[in-house]
Structures are given as C-alpha cells and as structure tokens.
C-alpha cells in the first residue's frame, strides 16, 4: 500500500502551526483589550458596540486555534478523525463566508436600512446626558477630529442641545485653523465647524478600500480551499496506507 507523503504531511503541519499561532495572537490580544482598562483607553473603546467587535475577535481567535490544533495533530499523528474534523470545520467557515457574501448582495437595501437604524440610535447617544452617552461623545469627538467630520448624519444637528459641549478643551466639531482655508469648514455660531458628516467619511473609506477588503476575503477563501484539498489528500493517503 502507498505510504503517506512526508512533504504533504509536514507542509500541512507547518501551515496549521502558523494558523494556530495566528489564532493565539488574535485571542490573546482580544482578551487583553477586553479586560485591560489601559488598552481600552488607548484604543478609544468605550461603547457597547465596540465591545461586541472585541467579543467577535475572541470567538474568531478561539475557532482558528481549535482548527489549527486539529490540523497540526491530525497531520503529525496521521489521525483521520482529527483531519476530518478539521475539514468539516474549515468547510463550514467557507460556506458561511460565501453565504454571507451572497446574503449581503441580495439584502443590500435591508442592510443599508439597518445601518441607518444603528446610526439613528447612535445619534440619540450624541444628544443624551447619561454616563454611557458621555463616554460615546468623548470617543466620537476624537473620531471627528481625525476624520475632519461632524455628527453622524446631519452634522452639528445630531448633537442637539450638546452642540456647544466642550470636550478636551475643544467645542464639538470645532474646525482647527489649518483646515479653515481648505473648504472643509463653515461658520456656526461663534466658531468654525466641519462641513461633512461622519457617515459620508465612513462610506467613502469603505468604497476606497473595497478592493482591499475583497482581496482579503478572496485570499482567505483560497487559503481555506487549499486547506480543504490538502487535508482531504492527507486523509485519503492515511486511509490507503
């Protein structure tokens, strides 16, 4: 009977070891961000929506670690059971990835409506006075200065009665002197503020980087397909041995 290809076996092991290390890094950094107050302050993470993103990264890191472990052990121990579990797990991720892309294309209008609803809820926080609202306002003020934008949808109107709020010695949406001659600002009450809404900045950023996002998604799909092919080839060789 034919033996197991050592090249395929150790290539599979090295690939999955690197896969496992990546999972460890993602999981470790995500947990550190989740529990460390210093990390949250450094990354301006304060709202519950941002914590959801960190929790998703923890889940992703855990899944990558488990799959990497199964792939490594399955290859080095020549375990058909582990290789089969690795294959099934990777196949499910690929199916979910493709299904997510298809659903995103089919239900694009509904997704846009959901985005608008989320933005509307965020606008309510900009107008609020609760502790949670104040944390969101402080983080959003920093984003406005970096993105050279104001509010979420309707500019300064999104801030309501908080439009004259002072955060870090600056009034909300205040446009710095260096930007006032670049047609980025207009005069509002006693100061210059940024013209465009932050929703416009976010949408423009996504459009400009869509090729990169699609490239990453395609690259991940190719890696997943290669993982499926190699694991099944190794599985079949072990079965024939």
Chain segment 1-19, per-residue pLDDT in tens: 455 678 888 888 888 888 8
| Residue 173 contacts residue 194 (beta carbons within 8 Å) | yes
Residue 26 contacts residue 34 (beta carbons within 8 Å): no
Cβ neighbours for 48, distance < 8 A, ≥ 6 positions apart: 132
The more confidently predicted of residues 42 and 119 is 119
Length of the chain: 241
How many angstroms separate the CA atoms of 155 and 173, rounded?
9
Query: Residue 239 above 70 pLDDT?
Result: yes
Give me 202's structure tokens. Answer: 């976010």
Q: Could you report the per-residue pLDDT of 56-89, keeping only the tens digit for each? A: 788 888 888 898 899 888 888 888 899 899 999 8
Residues 6+ apart with CB under 8 A from 46: 40, 135, 136, 138, 139
Helices (H), 107-209: 108-127, 131-147, 198-208
To which residue do tokens 């205040």 refer? 174
Q: Where are the domains of the chain?
A: 6-108+217-240, 132-198
At 217-235, the pLDDT tens digits run 788 888 888 888 888 888 8
- Res 147 pLDDT > 50: yes
**What's the pTM value of the predicted model, to 2 decimals?**
0.62
pLDDT at 1: 42
């Amino acid at each position: 009977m034919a033996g197991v290809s050592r090249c395929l076996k150790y290539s599979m092991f090295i690939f999955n070891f690197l896969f496992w290390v990546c999972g460890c890094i993602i999981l470790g950094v995500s947990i550190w961000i989740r529990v460390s107050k210093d990390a949250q302050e450094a990354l301006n993470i304060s709202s519950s929506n941002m914590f959801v993103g960190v929790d998703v990264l923890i889940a992703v890191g855990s899944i990558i670690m488990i799959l990497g472990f199964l792939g490594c052990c399955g290859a080095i121990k020549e375990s058909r059971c582990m290789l089969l579990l690795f294959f099934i797990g990777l196949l499910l991720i690929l199916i979910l990835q493709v299904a997510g892309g298809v659903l995103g294309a089919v239900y694009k209008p509904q997704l846009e409506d959901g985005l608008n609803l989320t933005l509307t809820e965020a606008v309510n926080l900009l107008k609020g006075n609760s502790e949670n609202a104040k944390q969101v306002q402080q983080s959003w003020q920093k984003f406005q200065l970096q993105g050279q934008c104001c509010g979420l949808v309707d500019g300064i109107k999104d801030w309501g009665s908080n439009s004259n709020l002072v955060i870090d010695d600056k009034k909300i949406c205040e446009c710095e002197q260096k930007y006032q001659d670049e047609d980025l600002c207009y005069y509002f009450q006693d100061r210059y503020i940024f013209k465009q809404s932050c929703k416009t900045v976010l949408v423009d950023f996504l459009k400009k980087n869509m090729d990169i996002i699609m490239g990453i998604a395609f690259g991940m799909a190719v890696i997943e397909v290669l993982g499926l092919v190699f694991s099944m080839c190794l599985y079949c060789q072990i079965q024939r041995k």
